[in-house]
Homo-oligomer: A and B are copies of this chain.
Amino acid sequence: MLMSSQVESFVMHCGEMGSRWGFNRTVGQMYGLLIINEQALSAIQISEALNISRGNVSMGIKELQSWRLVQVQHKPKDRKEYYTPAGSIWEMAIRVFEERRKREVDPTLSLLRSNLLETPNTQEALFAQEKMKEIHDLLETITHWAAELQSLSPEKLNTLMKLGAGVSKVIDMKDRLLK
């Protein structure tokens, strides 16, 4: 499992990004390696390619599975498990996005909701609640919107994104027509 220099730079970069994307360096490298390889890889191949312990690979795979980012494959006459990315690049992006929302936004929303149920009894508490309401409403609008966008087919979503700020014009047009 020797990597070409391009592949290596990509894999190492995925490692650097790993921590920013929500998992750690090695998990990032592992995922990069799986994406960039046409063939599914065994745990040992991964551990040799990245120079990490077999145990670490096992934990990393578990983490990637919790993000629903890898699939296990089996080869005939071979007991080892072989790992490969789950789904297309598009699906991978959706998953990372969704999973991060679950970890970053959902807990905040539920805390805000429960705080908003209490009755403020001082001036400060009142101000605080107003701010919390603002944040709550914004996060809610965004998550709803994101969920709806995810329900669109990749093609539709692609058209939409390519349209960019143009959507705004299309909507204005609609408003005028309906008046």
Which residues of A are at the interface with B, using a C-beta cutoff of 8 A?
4, 6-7, 9-10, 13, 16-17, 20-22, 35-38, 89-90, 93, 100, 103-104, 107-108, 111-112, 115, 118, 120, 122-125, 127-129, 131-132, 134-135, 138, 141-142, 144-145, 148-149, 151-152, 156, 158-165, 167-168, 170-171, 173-174
Taking the closest CB of chain B, its distance from the CB of A41, in whole angstroms, is 12
Q: Do B135 and A161 touch (CB < 8 A)?
A: no
Q: Specify which of B16, B21, B115, B135 is in contact with A89 (CB 8 Å cutoff).
A: B135
Q: Do B10 and A138 touch (CB < 8 A)?
A: no
Bound together, the chains give a CA A122 to CA B4 distance in angstroms of: 9
Q: Pull 25 A–B residue pairs with CB atoms less than 8 Å apart, ordered by A.
A: A6-B125, A6-B128, A9-B111, A9-B115, A10-B115, A16-B107, A17-B108, A20-B100, A20-B103, A21-B104, A36-B127, A37-B127, A38-B127, A141-B158, A141-B161, A141-B162, A144-B164, A145-B162, A148-B165, A149-B165, A156-B168, A159-B171, A167-B167, A170-B171, A173-B174
Q: Given that A9-B115, A104-B17 are known contacts, is A4 also in contact with B164, CB under 8 Å in the complex?
A: no
Q: Is the interface of A mostly helix, strand, loop or mixed?
A: helix
Q: Do B118 and A6 touch (CB < 8 A)?
A: yes
Q: Do B161 and A171 touch (CB < 8 A)?
A: no
User: Which chain B positions have C-beta within 8 A of A128?
Assistant: 4, 6-7, 10, 36-37
Bound together, the chains give a CA A149 to CA B164 distance in angstroms of: 7
Question: Which of A115, A160, A164, A173 has the largest count of B CB atoms less than 10 A from its CB?
Answer: A164
User: Which chain B positions have C-beta within 8 A of A144?
Assistant: 161, 164
Bound together, the chains give a CA A111 to CA B133 distance in angstroms of: 40
Nearest 8 interchain pairs by C-beta: A148-B164, A148-B165, A145-B161, A36-B128, A38-B127, A89-B134, A20-B104, A13-B111
